[in-house]
Amino acid sequence: MRNGLMLPANYKPLLSLKETEKAIRLIKEFFQINLSATLNLHRVTAPLYVKAGTGINDDLNGVEKPISFEIKNLSGVKAEIVQSLAKWKRMMLADYGFSVGEGLYTDMNAIRPDEILDNLHSIYVDQWDWERVISKEERKLDFLKYIVRKIYGVVKRTEEYIYKEFPSIKPFLPEEIKFFHSEELEETYPHLDPKKREDEVCKLHGAVFVTGIGGDLKNGKPHDGRAPDYDDWVTPAENGYRGLNGDILLWYPLLNGAYEISSMGIRVDPESLMKQLEITGHTERKDLLFHRRLLAGELPLSIGGGIGQSRLCMFFLRKAHIGEIQSSIWSEDMIRTCLENNIVLL
């Protein structure tokens, strides 16, 4: 570890810059085609910015501030660069008239200026944002696990595809993904912080889905932060645990740690929305556009999430830094440190 970076010993990229660019295109094409077919998703066009003050933009962990600007030709209407599209997608499910069992996906490009830059985090975020209409009967943990297994199957197929195209990249993901609640991890590893718990369980199983992220654990703190108005983290699940959301984590030997590729979950219904707004002290949001529509029953029940495009490409191509996949802005110190360790940032 140096300057906040994990620096693999004797690192050497498996692909040249030209091969890397080709591989990125192949991964993105293959993955999105398979994801849309597997989950019955239709591609739609996404906004880069939305109107401020509508409640449509996401504040992720509840504290991140979006980039905003005024539109001169619209009398100074204020807009915000999106941070994710969790709430926008759900409104589009209603506005496009999607039915139970079908949904949408989109290329989401966002800027998150509050990110702490390291091997995995950039201020530029690109992901496949997806959302699918579900029935009332499907608002349960078993259905969430069913969808997670479907997505993991696409991840596995993509790894095999890249191996056939670039034989130097050997597959190592396990056949199945394992499921753990964040409270189980707290009980198993009480002496570790949440990130270290993820590292331990992921190293043991190779691929895990950690459920129940957002609500307080027994120690009075959440496993990780979640905004109160998209994922449902209060509804009873099973074995006395709560939460119908979670993260897909893969073990990444190159960086010796758990590697998050997706945050997802069953979305709030009117009841869980109000509970979570009360818990977090944000009941004033109920008067915003998105929240009004949800509370009025205008939006369908849904499940959805985001899958990092650069994150996936970095993982499949065995890169040490996300800057080897995407072009972004880094400190001069980070650029220099990476070059000294054979990590070439785009």
Q: Give me the residues paired with residue 126 across strands.
A: 109
**Within 13 Å of residue 121, how many CA atoms lie on the same side as its CB?**
10
153 CB neighbour count, 10 Å cutoff: 16
Q: Do 248 and 177 meet the contact criterion of CB atoms below 8 Å apart?
A: yes
Among candidate residues 131, 247, 269, 324, the one labeled active-site is 247
Looking at the chain, how many residues does it have?
Answer: 346
Annotation says 193 is catalytic: no
Span 274-302, pLDDT tens digits: 999 999 999 999 998 889 999 999 999 99
Q: Do 321 and 338 meet the contact criterion of CB atoms below 8 Å apart?
A: yes
Annotation says 58 is catalytic: yes
Q: Is the pLDDT of residue 60 over 60?
A: no
Annotation says 263 is catalytic: yes
Mean pLDDT of 214-225: 90
pLDDT over 90 percentage in the chain: 70
Pick the CATH number of 17-340 from 3.30.930.10, 3.20.20.140, 3.20.20.70, 3.30.70.20: 3.30.930.10
Q: Work out the mean pLDDT of the chain and round it to a whole number.
A: 91
Distance of CA 283 to the CA centre of its chain: 25
Q: Is the pLDDT of residue 112 over 90?
A: no
pLDDT over 70 percentage in the chain: 97
Domain range summary for the chain, segments of one domain joined by +: 17-340
Q: Do 54 and 290 meet the contact criterion of CB atoms below 8 Å apart?
A: yes
Between residues 69 and 38, which one has the greater pLDDT?
38
Q: Do 218 and 188 meet the contact criterion of CB atoms below 8 Å apart?
A: no
**pLDDT confidence of residue 315:** 96
Among candidate residues 260, 276, 311, 318, the one labeled active-site is 260
Among candidate residues 36, 58, 182, 197, the one labeled active-site is 58
Q: Is the pTM of this model over 0.85?
A: yes
Span 134-157, pLDDT tens digits: 999 999 999 999 999 999 999 999
**pLDDT confidence of residue 168:** 94
Q: Is the pLDDT of residue 65 over 80?
A: no
Among candidate residues 263, 272, 276, 328, the one labeled active-site is 263
Mean pLDDT of 318-345: 91
Between residues 309 and 81, which one has the greater pLDDT?
309
Mean pLDDT of 217-239: 90
Mean pLDDT of 204-231: 92
- 99, 140, 261, 295 from 87: Cα distances, Å: 17, 20, 20, 13
Span 29-55, pLDDT tens digits: 999 999 999 999 999 998 888 888 777
Annotation says 247 is catalytic: yes
